[in-house]
Every structure is written in C-alpha cells, then in structure tokens.
Amino acid sequence: MNERLLSVDQVAELLGTTARFPRRLIEERRITYVKVGRHVRIPEGAVRAYLAAHTVEPRRRRMGVAA
C-alpha cells in the first residue's frame, strides 16, 4: 500500500466541510478507512472513489426543449 493516508481533518479540508462530515461517513461505513491504533485514516483513493461515485453530471439540453 503506497497510498497516502489522510486524517479526518485533511479529508474535511479536501471536501470543503467540517470534520463532522467525514466522521459521519466513517461511522456509517460509507467510505473506506484504516484504523491505526486509535487513530482513523482515510486512503486518498477512497476519497477519490467517494467523489467519483457522488459526482452528478449536468443534463444535456435537447434541441427544441426549453429549460
């Protein structure tokens, strides 16, 4: 495993949220995490995967249809 492990605070900063949000993701087991003793770390790839899975692409407008 050559992947960087991020703290909850680092993940919160990346996501632009408070630390409470990544903690909730961990508690609900909606993101992969690693326990290092009593510390919790989240692999960078898990954050990328979470973002990819929750990214919503804009709809394309069809010709002749008003928005």
Whether 17 and 27 have beta carbons less than 8 Å apart is answered as no
pLDDT value at position 15? Answer: 96
Q: Number of structural domains, the chain?
A: 1
32 assigned to some structural domain: yes
Residue 60 pLDDT class (50, 70, 90 cuts) = confident
Residue 65 pLDDT class (50, 70, 90 cuts) = low
**pLDDT tens for each residue of 13-50:** 999 999 999 999 999 999 999 999 999 999 999 999 99
pTM attached to this predicted model: 0.80
Q: Is the pLDDT higher at 38 or at 67?
A: 38
10 assigned to some structural domain: yes
Domain that holds residue 46: 5-53
Q: Rounded to whole angstroms, how far apart are CA atoms 33 and 25?
A: 10
63 assigned to some structural domain: no
The phi and psi torsions of 6 (rounded to 5 degrees) equal: -110, 145
Q: Rounded to whole angstroms, how far apart are CA atoms 57 and 29?
A: 25
11 assigned to some structural domain: yes
DSSP, res 31? S
